[in-house]
Amino acid sequence: MRGSVQHKHNLRRPKIHLHGWLAIDKPSGLTSTQVVGRVRFLTCAYKAGHGGTLDPLATGILPVALGEATKTVSFVMEGLKNYQFTIRWGERRDTDDADGKIIALSDVRPTGAEIQAALPSFTGNIMQRPPTYSAVKVGGRRAYNLARAHEKVSLAPRPILIKRLRLVDLVDENHSLFELECGKGGYVRALARDLAMSLGTEGHVSSLRRTRVGPFTLEKAISLAQLEGLDDSAALTKWLLPLVEGLAGVPHLRISAEQAAQLRNGQAISLLRAPVHDDGVRVEAPAVLCAVFATRPVALVDFRAGQIRPTRVFNYAA
């Protein structure tokens, strides 16, 4: 807390070189940016960033990258995400979640059979129009800023992947619980809005919890309260996941000390043979690889025409 003894103590503590990931179990009521700021303050890390925005209403997994792990954020954001969410039937809100104002009502309440019959239309590669209150940019401005200024917002549908959508429970007449696995760019709020409309009613997300982002799961997560209660850096280390956690699916290329030095100096390296995946299958160029010396990632490299060329070098001293 600002002004507290702990806050003043933390301001006096030097910044430290932490490199890795924290899987934060985000509480409701905070923005993702606020969570990152809190993590950076509590850990005294030089750099921090998150691997995929969560709405303030939502709880659950928010991967926070520290130090050089921030260079792997884009790979985490490409990963599949799992959610549990509840739709409140009969009410549409301007934000498509419980934080917004009611803008439409309906007396229609879908049955379990009707919901089940509608789900296949929202599974696979589909087109989805993002919510009006979203971070999508329109003419260089965020849609939510335009909406808050009462300016007209027109967002085009875009392709997304919904790998799995399942009705878990008919909680009561007004609420149904779902599980979802989707790809990058999918909005749960938009899904709830569109599913309700397809069923001849209105609806919004009344609760939302993200249970997985790529390799980051609740089993690996720490809450902000737990993080604040850690006594020292040794306790923090137990929760700090390695930088490579953010590179799930990126093939590794073992290199020598000499090659590591070349990559750190920005030099390209010619390969005598094509690298292979863990299963022994040859990596087809062009491809992004993670060059590793011993057990430590040295750089992200671009593999093509028989060469690897560094695109992101990990500087653990900075």
Q: Which residues are catalytic?
A: 55
Report yes or no: 62 and 54 within 8 Å, Cβ to Cβ: yes
Contacts of 145 (CB under 8 A, 6+ apart): none
Q: Burial-class residue 133 by CB neighbours within 10 Å (0-12, 13-18, 19+).
A: buried
Count Cβ atoms within 10 A of the Cβ of residue 132 and give its class: 0-12 exposed, 13-18 middle, 19 or more buried. buried
Q: Residue 69, CB half-sphere, CA atoms under 13 Å: how many?
A: 29
**Which of these, 165, 161, 156, 171, lies nearest to 198 by C-alpha position?**
165
